[in-house]
Structure 1
Amino acid sequence: MGFHEVRFPTSLSFGSAGGPVRRTEVVTLANGFEERNTPWAHSRRRYDAGMGMRSLDDVATLIAFFEARQGQLNGFRWKDWADFKSCLPSETVAATDQNIGTGDGSTQVFALRKRYASGTEDYERPITKPVDGTVRVAVDGAEQPPVAFGVDAVRGLVTFILPPSAGASVSAGFEFDVPVRFDTDQIITSVSSFQAGDVPDVPVLEVRV
């Protein structure tokens, strides 16, 4: 599968519906108790891009984007307006938002991730598509200048020029996109129905990259 490093038009993704999907296998035992398991370590997000269509010009933009991706063939970036920052949506990205590792004096490359916590449980989500120019990094709480590190915006990796010292906390703040593809090879539109308030069904599904 190919992946195009281009973002779906944000004017169209704004207003779309969607969110994380988990896969849980539930087996009910004879005594009424359940056994629950999941084959997925990470959730996959699913969206409906059709919800963001507001005019026939929007539909034309959607079709052009769809054709350029050749339907399901090539993936692309998607801005999830409900979850696109390392911090809360109402806050400003800071270099101390997310802990991404601990220095050992030799490791120079750290993978971006975002932690979701509730009570005593949490989940760490790999961030593979940071938005170029938004990544801020700190070592032991001290923000590092841009010349001290590089960012691979295609894979979500931060590479330090000099490795953080042993025991040093490494953190990062960033905006990010979700790697997705269209989950259909067909888009059905109707001028008359759209003017009546109907919108096309355009499913979009997160992919592993």
Structure 2
Amino acid sequence: MGFHEVRFPANLSFGSIGGPERLTDVVTLANGFEERNTPWQHSRRRYDAGIAMRGLDDIETLIAFFEARRGQIHGFRWKDWADYKSGAALIEPSYDDQVIAIGDDVTPTFQLTKTYRSGVHDYARPVTKPVRGSVRIGLGGDEQQEAVHYTVDYTTGIVTFLHPPNAGDAVTAGFEFDVPVRFDTDRIMVSVASFQAGDAPNVPVVEIRV
């Protein structure tokens, strides 16, 4: 089992359906009240690319990609067109989109994260597959230069500073990112409707932890 640092063709993931899911245990007590708990700290995303298949060329590309991943064996990158930027969907990422940490004079490495807010509550999602060349980092309100002030591991989303940030300085980031996924099936069922068109009605993909 491994992970291939290759993205599922973005033109085929465009138009797919999917999004985050969580696992919640709900117990109804005798008095009618509920107790709710979850074993998951982070949500998990599921997608179905089948709806986006449009022609025989798409089907051929899908089958080749599926075979190269050995079905469910190897993970790969997936572009979630509904959520692939650190900031607003229609704006290019900026170095101050997300506060990912506060400096302490000691720690030089930080995980990229994206925080989702609603009212006074929020959820910080680890970003482990940033898109190469898209990451911008700020420190104390000033943009830093990659390879001069910091490096990025694009396979893990870890940012490493040459020198640990000063205590109290906000470490900020902007980026595009992919979702680490695998196929959630060991077979692809296709239908050829004509010499020019075909479809794969069910191509399930599920997020994995890496």
Give the equivalent residue in structure 2 for 1:92: 92
Q: TM-score, normalised by structure 1?
A: 0.96
Matches within 5 A, 1:69-108: 69-108=69-108
SS in 2 for 1:187: coil
Aligned match of 1:27: 27
Instruction: Give the residue type in structure 1 aligned to 2:131.
Output: V
Specify the alignment match of 1:165 in structure 2.
166
Does the CA contact (< 8 Å) of 1:8 and 1:79 recur in 2?
A: yes
2:57 aligned partner: 57
User: What CA distance in whole angstroms lies between the structure 1 residues aligned with 2:195 and 2:46?
Assistant: 23
Amino acid corresponding to residue 71 of structure 2 in structure 1: G
Distance 2:53 2:173 in 1: 34
Larger proportion of helix? 1
**Off by >2 Å, runs of 4+ in structure 1:** 192-200
Q: Summarize the alignment of residues 46-195 of structure 1 with structure 2, pairs less than 5 Å apart.
A: 46-146=46-146, 147-192=148-193
Structure 2, gaps ≥5 residues long: none
Q: Could you tell me whether the CA contact under 8 Å between 2:94 and 2:173 is conserved in 1? A: yes
Cα separation, 1, equivalents of 2:195 and 2:83: 29
CA RMSD of aligned residues (A): 1.5
- List per-residue Cα deviations over 1:39-62 (Å, max 9, x = no partner): 100000000011211111100000
CA distance in 1, matches of 2:47, 2:196: 23
Provide the rounded CA distance (Å) in 2 between the counterparts of 1:61 and 1:202. 13
1:192: how far off? 2.6
3-state SS of the aligned residue for 2:193?
Answer: helix
TM-score (norm 2): 0.96
Aligned 8 A contact 2:129 2:179 in 1: yes
**Residues 125 and 194 of structure 1: CA distance in aligned 2, closer, same or farther (over 3 Å):** farther
Q: Indicate how the Cα distance of structure 1 residues 64 and 145 shifts in structure 2: closer, same or farther if over 3 A, else same.
A: same
Q: Are residues 194 and 32 of structure 1, via their aligned partners in 2, closer, same or farther at CA, if it must alter by over 3 Å? A: farther
Shift, 1:197, TM fit: 7.6
Structure 1 gaps of 5+ residues are none
Residues 152 and 21 of structure 1: is their aligned pair in 2 closer, same or farther, counting only changes over 3 Å? Answer: same
The separation in 1 between residues aligned to 2:194 and 2:184, in whole angstroms, is 22
Change in 2 beyond 3 A, CA 1:197/1:30 = farther
- Cα distance, 1:154–1:196 mapped onto 2, change above 3 Å: closer
Q: Residue 205 of structure 2 corresponds to which residue in structure 1?
A: 204
Task: Supply the distance in 2 between the matched residues of 1:177 and 1:33 (Cα, whole angstroms).
Answer: 40
CA–CA distance in 1 between the matches of 2:80 and 2:34? 34
Shift of 1:164: 1.0
| Higher alpha-carbon deviation: 24-33 or 57-66 | 24-33
> 1:65 & 1:197 partners in 2: Cα distance?
17
Once the two structures are TM-superposed, the CA of residue 200 in structure 1 deviates from its matched residue by: 2.4
